[in-house]
Structure 1
């Protein structure tokens, strides 16, 4: 069955995002920055917001737990946009080429709904997609198989006709377990080669 659909993750596939971009401004000591991100405002904590918990609630819970770190904790969502370093131009160029070739294009991204709505207009190429599933809107997140199944159902897709691109190997493995072709994103150059191997570019 011919692939006619490409599903993209967003963070660190099409958009550069890292909390260190912000916290390099807040902490002069790299060890202190790393301690904060590895032990206080962790990715596990942040990913709860991807599943639907509000940034405000998450912030207050963490401040209560770590009052000595209140200032950098509050900065996490108050200065959210400072964690972005713009689009990944090579990936955006690939997205443009796929659009021009007429493939169906969808987003499947772990992203808090409120934060996504605050950010979406900063990246005009997000309008090139036919539709999207944002984890915070559906209260499911990758790598839970249910969010992939929802994507297939909502957009009436056959797994064999789709390819899924994500920078998380675990997320790619879930897609593949459901019969979707997976590409573990490492760089735009490698992505181009993999899509060429599938005769999509």
Structure 2
């Protein structure tokens, strides 16, 4: 296996839990949440933000288009820190252990340019990476092959030396198609095992 020269982390469901259904179940109840997500193009709104649309403006436009759900929609803007949380501690420790070993760690995430700084302020560990590839800043999102090409061009590392963890099959498949080493993230323990198998961490460092 080719030696890994950089490890790339997704954020949502790898470093920070992203389960908006759970949040809305808590604040408006499961029945209303199901109606809300059936009637409001919630994930399409988030995709536009991830592709570079202004965070606050996109939420306000969606709220105005769906006045009956405007209060719930605006919670995405007003309660972002409650929505995109908590951190996944074992994954955070793995990123730190890699840095301590001198392994470059990058972020490649579908995340809005406007709300990413809010999450960085909430979670200081998000300041501890060597390179950041945030889709909203780049105006493209996974699994568009162009975003992976942009990462390669910026970091100037051969694709086969990049090890990428993401929780979505389509994002992993797009990276693998470019020759990246990949790991479909399901649990931090599985990711730890992969990092140990790649010779990047010792077992005790990955605990």
- What is the CA distance between 1:37 and its match in structure 2? 2.4
CA distance in 1, matches of 2:85, 2:194: 25
Contact 2:5 2:157 in 1 (8 A): no
1:118 matches 2:144: no
Contact 2:55 2:113 in 1 (8 A): no
Q: Which residue of structure 2 aligns with residue 52 of structure 1? A: 52
Q: Which residue of structure 2 aligns with residue 165 of structure 1? A: 165
Q: Which residue of structure 1 aligns with residue 101 of structure 2? A: 101
Runs of 4+ in 1 over 6 A off after TM superposition: none
1:143 matches 2:146: no
- What is the CA distance between 1:134 and its match in structure 2? 0.6
- What is the CA distance between 1:157 and its match in structure 2? 1.4
When you count strand as a share of all residues, which structure comes out higher? 1
Task: Please identify, of 172-181 and 118-127, the stretch whose mean Cα deviation from structure 2 is larger.
Answer: 118-127
CA distance in 2, matches of 1:38, 1:164: 33
Secondary structure of 1:175's counterpart equals: helix
Secondary structure of 1:57's counterpart equals: helix
Residue correspondence of structure 1 range 1-150 to structure 2 within 5 A: 1-28=2-29, 30-150=30-150
Task: Please identify, of 90-99 and 175-184, the stretch whose mean Cα deviation from structure 2 is larger.
Answer: 90-99
CA distance in 2, matches of 1:127, 1:42: 28
> Could you give the per-residue CA deviations for residues 70-115 of structure 1, whole angstroms, max 9, x where no partner exists?
1111212121111133210111111121111111111111111110
Q: Which residue of structure 1 aligns with residue 204 of structure 2? A: none
Secondary structure of 2:11's counterpart equals: coil
- What is the CA distance between 1:38 and its match in structure 2? 4.0
> Could you give the per-residue CA deviations for residues 59-79 of structure 1, whole angstroms, max 9, x where no partner exists?
233223222111111212121
Q: TM-score, normalised by structure 1?
A: 0.93
CA distance in 2, matches of 1:125, 1:115: 16
CA distance in 2, matches of 1:117, 1:85: 14
Contact 1:21 1:84 in 2 (8 A): no
Secondary structure of 1:114's counterpart equals: coil
- What is the CA distance between 1:47 and its match in structure 2? 1.0
Q: TM-score, normalised by structure 2?
A: 0.90
Secondary structure of 1:82's counterpart equals: helix
Residue-pair matches, total = 200
Structure 1: 5+ residue runs without aligned partners?
none
